[in-house]
Amino acid sequence: MSVGNIENPVRFAYWVPNVSGGLVVSKIEQRTDWGYDYNRELAVLAENNGFDYALSQVRYIASYGAAYQHESTGFSLALLLATQRLKVIAAIHPGLWHPGVLAKFVATADQLSGGRAAVNVVSGWFKDEFTKLGEPWLEHDERYRRSEEFIRVLREIWTSEHAEFGGDFYRLHDFDLRPKPVDVPGRPHPEIFQGGNSTAARRMAGRVSDWYFSNGRDFDGVVEQIRDVRTEAALYGRSVQFGLNAFLIARDSEAEAREVLREIVGKADREAVEGFGSAVRQAGQAAPDGKGMWQDSEFADLVQYNDGFRTGLIGTPEQIAERIVAYKRLGVDLFLLGFLHYLEEVEYFGKRVLPLVRELEAEDRGAPVRTGS
Ligand SMILES: Cc1cc2nc3c(=O)[nH]c(=O)nc-3n(C[C@H](O)[C@H](O)[C@H](O)COP(=O)(O)O)c2cc1C
């Protein structure tokens, strides 16, 4: 496999804490707030500390350590209006939106923000959200069949003047969206990210998504997914960018950082973690090969909703920067980061970790381009 893109700088996104309880299911003190004032300040700080993207989460009801949740598309628009350069990705569920209505919303958000709106299509793990809203909960691979149509409809509406679509889930008849999203050079339409790591998710990414998001993984786990997604994408003459989740704990010494991780896991909200673990395993086991994204997660991994400890960005700024660049060499284009105390740690990241990443990248650019196995 060829290595990652050495020329382009690796990019960074952060998880918007628009859901209460932070990004870890733990009773440890978290100086992070899910409200708008905190998030507005955080978004501005993030764009001034090297972040290109923010990702809002979608959750409709209280569950597993998340008692309150702000709606993702509305909250994302508010953050777009509060910032200058940050691109904000709103997570959305096919099945709870009509893609035409979402396409319209995103076109407006894109117009209001000068071309900075994006979406993360998540196929869902939380059955109760659908059943409590009276909507059917489809089987795992059916959810992906619907998501794939959903993405095709978004793209059709955003890029054609007489949009037509005939699918099993959605239909369009000569639909003309006005205004279209902003015409940004190099971007045919608002970027489409997707969550999900099962076989069905990898195939969908190869066929239709611009970006594939992986849960936290070690080097081998990343290589395996990149290979699968690229293989599928090559069949369609496409390329897909790769984003990797990580819960980042940077401290002046490695011992301090490890101690924070120990405390997070030691103070885990056991009941909530176990409830979350059983819900996500059920969702993934419904995949025909049982390879949903949390299938091999241990208790400690599940304390972070998206296996973020497994990426291992825990240690000193030097250790973390080296690991980030090692992942980049394998093909990771973007890191999706979560933090314990957002305002403090986003700034520490920007001042202490990011400059080291850029130095290592500059060294790589000076070095001969390597090719992997
Ligand atoms: C980066 C990322 C972000 C996600 N965000 C959400 C979210 O905001 N809301 C949600 O219900 N699911 C979210 N998911 C989970 C997906 O809905 C899906 O259940 C999960 O990825 C499992 O898919 P799989 O069975 O294909 O592995 C996210 C997944 C990833 C990787």
What is the residue extent of each domain of the chain? 11-364
- Coil, strand or helix at 78: helix
How many whole angstroms from 42 Cα to the centroid of ligand 1? 23
Q: Is the CB of 122 under 6 A from ligand 1?
A: yes
How many whole angstroms from 98 Cα to the centroid of ligand 1? 19
How many whole angstroms from 352 Cα to the centroid of ligand 1? 30
Q: Is the CB of 69 under 6 A from ligand 1?
A: no
Q: What value, to the nearest 5°, has the Cα angle with vertex 162 and ends 159 and 167? A: 85
Count of CB atoms within 10 A of residue 173's CB? 9
pLDDT at 372 over 70: no
pLDDT at 170 over 70: yes
pLDDT digits over 294-347, tens only? 888 999 999 998 999 999 999 999 999 999 999 999 999 999 999 999 999 999
The pLDDT assigned to 12 comes to 98
Q: Is the CB of 309 under 6 A from ligand 1?
A: no
Q: What value, to the nearest 5°, has the Cα angle with vertex 147 and ends 144 and 148? A: 90
Torsion on CA atoms 195, 197, 201, 203, rounded to nearest 10: 130
Q: Is the CB of 18 under 6 A from ligand 1?
A: no
pLDDT digits over 178-229, tens only? 999 999 999 999 999 999 999 999 999 999 999 999 999 999 999 999 999 9
Tell me if the pTM is above 0.85.
yes
Q: How far apart are CA 127 and CA 336, in angstroms?
A: 25
Please report the beta strands in the chain, taking only residues with DSSP state E, as ranges in sequence order. 11-15, 53-56, 87-92, 117-121, 163-166, 171-175, 191-194, 211-214, 241-247, 249-250, 314-315, 334-338
Count of CB atoms within 10 A of residue 321's CB? 23
Return the CATH number of the domain spanning residue range 11-364.
3.20.20.30
Q: Who has greater pLDDT, 281 or 372?
A: 281
**Interaxial angle between packed helices 199-208 and 219-235, expressed in degrees from 0 to 180 and rounded to the nearest 10:** 50
Q: How far apart are CA 264 and CA 272, in angstroms?
A: 14
DSSP state, residue 349: I
Q: Is the CB of 215 under 6 A from ligand 1?
A: yes
* pLDDT band at 293; cut points 50, 70, 90: confident
